[in-house]
Amino acid sequence: MTATDSYQTPDGRTIGPNVMEMRNISLRFGGVKAIQDISFDIHEGEIRAIIGPNGAGKSSMLNVINGFYHPQEGEILYKGEVRKPMKPYEIAYQGIARTFQNIALFKGMSTLDNIMTGRLTHMKTGMLEQIIWSGRAEREEVENRAFVEHIIDFLEIQTIRKTPVGRLPYGLQKRVELGRALAAEPSLLLLDEPMAGMNVEEKEDMSRFILDVNDEFGTTIALIEHDMGVVMDIADRVVVMDYGKKIGDGTPSEVRNNQDVIDAYLGVSHD
Amino acid sequence: MLYREVGEFKPSYKKDQQTFPIRLDRYGYYAILAFAFCVIPFLINDYWANAILLPFLIFGIAAIGLNILTGYCGQVSLGSGGFMAVGAYACYKLMTGFPDLNIIFCIMLSGGITALVGIMFGLPSLRIKGFYLAVATLAAQFFLIWLFNKVAWFYNYSASGQITAPERTLFGEIVTGANATPEVAYLVCLSFLVVLAMVARNLTRGSVGRKWMAIRDMDIAAEIIGVNPLMAKLTAFGVSSFYVGIAGALLFSVYLGAVEVGEVFGIQKSFIILFMIIIGGLGSIFGSLAGAAFLVAMPVVLKNVMVGQLGWAVDLAAHFEFLIVGALIIFFLIVEPHGFAMLWRIIKEKLRLWPFPH
């Protein structure tokens, strides 16, 4: 399939044109080449997986998209325009949200406050209005609270609304983190190993939520995951990385039959 | 039994988000306010005002200020004493430079000036964190005290090096100077505390406060979500210093009347305010006030017991006072590391079921 066109998935969803395109991205830390000349695109409404062995540069790739790292070479097209180098918080305002490999919730705050914090990009009142509180600040708070409650219902975490997240079990924390990212109503959602360390039931729940998010909100999702079963099941297209290079790109079945990918995962004798 | 929320329903998010969502709390709060504004001014005398009430109100403001910075935004500061001095000297310069300016404006402006100074000293916080930031703010403490000692312009070239508050009135009542009555001083400080506490509450419950707390809990995730770390930290430094500056201005103009900078605003003040928020509870406005009340009242109570009741010598009692206050701080920290605010929360949780736990 060509890079910029819409396409149909086997299950009948129509995937739109691309929202993000990485062109020849290279990222080096001193002599270490974390990412070498990688290009791929993410289409609107699709679930795009990035897989690869440990140290392949997957998280670095997300950090590039997020603006934590600035690649030495290459350019990023977002919504059809070349993106200038930006700070991570500016990129948040562009509609890119993410979750982290190790949970990065605000431990001292309640579930509700965590997800409300995810709405920051939608809250406009300034400090003076907040000091007075009644009026615009309060109205804005209530409006955003209503949206957050919608997400809380969606993720089925109503009962832990006011619990400090530090006290929650791991699986629920992952779910709250997903909620926090969703609260931003992102046009592109990055998930860094959303199922790491979960048992089978929790993985099923999380897969269901990811599919539902994609289905109900139409959110474009890029995710890193190690569980091949999950990736092959939920992803529309998969990028495979190894040692900072792209070794495969395509639908799950294409990737599964790619000889380079099989070699990277199963190992091959270098002779 | 008595304290419960059964039968209280919140039909709107607005109701759920109010400061005191439980009716009993709300009535308790109104009762305390009414008592503080309408009853205490008739009972107050010089001793109560000067020993307990005024220092409590003033240090309460300072503790809320430091709590905004340290408890909500997670930036440790040991410069509170220095920032209080900025407030005091700004107030002095304003009072002497503009004799017609209303004292309330003087105090507010002093807060504003302190906020600017605080933002300046908060700039390094973008690069340095934790203990290292604490040391940087310690530098602010020593630098500011040195500045006010050395540069004679700040104390209007007075021979003693002290600053003395001239007499100012508000609505015809004397507020500052030697002739001020305790009830007027008390009401001025109380009004400042109540208004500033409400402002702090509004700031910390909305998006500004969540930005601060996000920076405190996980700065990387905060940035990803759209928090500009520099802005969040600098606003915390600014607001915090505003509070501390107002506390300094009140301490100088309304409470003490005359100030020698090294003595009043030394490093001990920074530590005492820090102790207040640690004992009271980081990230809690109630905690700031509880901590301030504890550290202000405890020495007075101990002194009264030891000197008044047991008849010990004053100097012996003074030494014992240090020992006991220190021991109590350690005791409370072991019992509840999250301070009085958490203790209070736990008591309320228990009370919801008491005396029928099933």
B235: nearest CA partner in chain A: A127
In a domain, A43, yes or no: yes
Search chain A and give the residue with CA nearest B221: A104
Mean model confidence pLDDT for chain B: 88
Range of the domain at B298: 22-353
pLDDT of the residue at A181: 93
Residue of chain A minimizing CA distance to B283: A108
| Whole-number pLDDT of residue A14 | 81
Q: Which domain holds residue A52?
A: 1-95+186-266
* Domain tally, chain B: 1
Average pLDDT over residues B114-127: 91
Which CATH number covers residue A248?
3.40.50.300
Q: Of B211, B225, B227, which has the smallest distance from its Cβ to A184's Cβ?
A: B225
The mean pLDDT of A54-67, rounded to a whole number, is: 90
Model confidence at A1: pLDDT above 50: no
Nearest to B221 among A104, A142, A149 (CB): A104
Domain shared by A174 and A192, yes or no: no
Q: Is residue B103 part of a domain?
A: yes
- Is B7 within the bounds of a domain? no
**Contact partners, residue A21, CB within 8 Å, separation at least 6:** A3, A39, A40, A41, A42, A76, A77
Q: Are residues A7 and A72 in the same domain?
A: yes
Give the count of domains, chain A: 2
**Contacts of residue B199 in chain A, CB cutoff 8 Å?**
131
Question: Which of these three, A185, A215, A245, is where a domain ends?
Answer: A185
Q: Which CATH number covers residue B47? A: 1.10.3470
The pLDDT value recorded for residue B182 is 85
Kindly report, residue by residue over A146-162, the tens digit of the pLDDT. Answer: 999 999 999 999 999 88
CB B97 within 8 A of CB B254: no
Are both A151 and A193 inside the same structural domain? no
In a domain, A100, yes or no: no
Q: What is the pLDDT of residues B313-323, one digit of tens each?
A: 888 888 888 88
With an 8 Å Cβ cutoff, are B221 and A138 in contact?
no
Of the listed ranges A240-244, B114-118, B194-198, B305-309, the one predicted with least confidence: B305-309
Q: Which residues of B touch A132 (CB under 8 A)?
A: 202
A208 shares a domain with A169: no
Among residues A78, A260, A60, the alpha carbon closest in space to that of A186 is found at A78
Q: Is B44 part of a structural domain of the chain?
A: yes
CA distance B243 to chain A (A): 14
Give residue B1's pLDDT: 54
**pLDDT on residue A2:** 46
Place of tokens 């592109």: A188
The pLDDT of residue B340 is 87
Is residue B1 a part of any domain in this protein? Answer: no
* pLDDT value of position B51: 85
**Do A88 and A222 belong to one domain?**
yes
pLDDT over 90, % of chain B: 42
Region at B301 (left for phi over 0; alpha for psi -120 to 50; beta for the rest): alpha
Looking at the complex, does the CB of residue A66 fall below 8 Å from at least one CB of chain B?
yes
Q: Are strands A220-224 and A188-192 parallel, antiparallel or unpaired?
A: parallel
Task: Verify that A201 and A179 share a domain, yes or no.
Answer: no
Q: Are residues A133 and A18 located together in one domain of the fold?
A: no
pLDDT at residue A108 in the model: 87
Do residues A128 and A205 share a domain? Answer: no
Per-residue pLDDT, averaged over A191-219, amounts to: 91
Within 8 A of A68 by CB-CB distance, chain B residues are 220
Asked whether residue A182 carries a pLDDT value surpassing 50, the answer given is yes
The CA distances from residue B208 to A126, A128, B213, in Å, are 8, 10, 9
- Nearest CB to B217: which of A108, A116, A119? A108
Tens-place pLDDT, residues B225-249: 999 999 999 999 999 999 999 999 9
**Collapsed DSSP state (helix, strand, coil) of residue B192:** helix
The pLDDT assigned to A191 comes to 94
A176 and A192 housed in the same domain: no
pLDDT tens digits for B204-232?
A: 988 999 999 999 999 899 999 999 999 99
Contacts of A118 in chain B (CB under 8 A): 225
pLDDT of B99-113, one tens digit each? 888 889 999 999 999
CB atoms within 10 A of CB B178: 10
A58 has a pLDDT exceeding 80: yes
Query: Which of A158, A185, A212 corresponds to the end of one domain?
Result: A185
| % of chain A beyond a pLDDT of 90 | 51
Q: Are B251 and B84 in contact (CB under 8 A)?
A: yes
For residue A240, being part of any structural domain is answered with yes
Per-residue pLDDT at A120 exceeds 50: yes
A164 secondary structure, DSSP code: B
Residue range B273-304, pLDDT digits in tens: 998 998 898 889 999 999 999 999 988 888 88
Whether A120 sits inside 8 A of B203 (CB atoms) is no
Residue A3 reports pLDDT greater than 60: no
pLDDT digits (tens, 9 = 90+) for A28-39: 998 888 999 999
Cβ–Cβ contact A135 with B under 8 A: no
CB under 8 Å to B196, separation ≥6 — which residues? B61, B64, B243, B246
Read off the pLDDT band of B330 (50, 70, 90).
confident
Same domain, A47 and A156: no
Q: How many CB pairs under 8 A join A and B?
A: 104
Residue A241 lies in a domain: yes
If you average pLDDT over residues B157-180, what whole number do you get? 81
Q: Using a CB-CB distance cutoff of 8 angstroms, which residues of chain A are in contact with residue B235?
A: 127
The model's confidence at residue B358, banded by pLDDT at 50, 70 and 90, is low
B14 vs A180: CB contact, 8 Å cut-off? no
Residue A271 in domain = no
If pLDDT is split at 50, 70 and 90, which confidence band does B306 have? confident
CB contact under 8 A, B206 and A130: yes
A154 touches chain B (CB under 8 A): no
B214 interaction partners in chain A (CB closer than 8 Å): 106, 109, 117
Report yes or no on A146 lying in a domain: yes
Quote the pLDDT of residue B4.
67
Indicate the SS3 state at residue A248: strand
Contact A108 B206 (CB under 8 A): no
Nearest to A98 among B216, B224, B228 (CB): B224
Neighbours of B247 (CB within 10 A): 37
Show residues of chain B in contact with A113, CB under 8 Å. Answer: 210, 213
The answer, for A105 touching chain B at a CB cutoff of 8 Å, is yes
Q: Any idea how long chain B is?
A: 358
Separation CA B24–CA B30 (nearest Å): 10
- A92, B225: Cβ pair inside 8 Å? yes
Cβ A121–B208 below 8 Å, yes or no?
no
Q: What residue of A is the nearest CA neighbor of B208?
A: A127
pLDDT at B14: 79
| A143 located within any domain | yes
For every residue of B261-282, DSSP letters joined together read: HHHHSSHHHHHHHHHHHHHH-T
**Which residues in chain A are closer than 8 Å to B220, comparing Cβ atoms?**
68, 100, 104
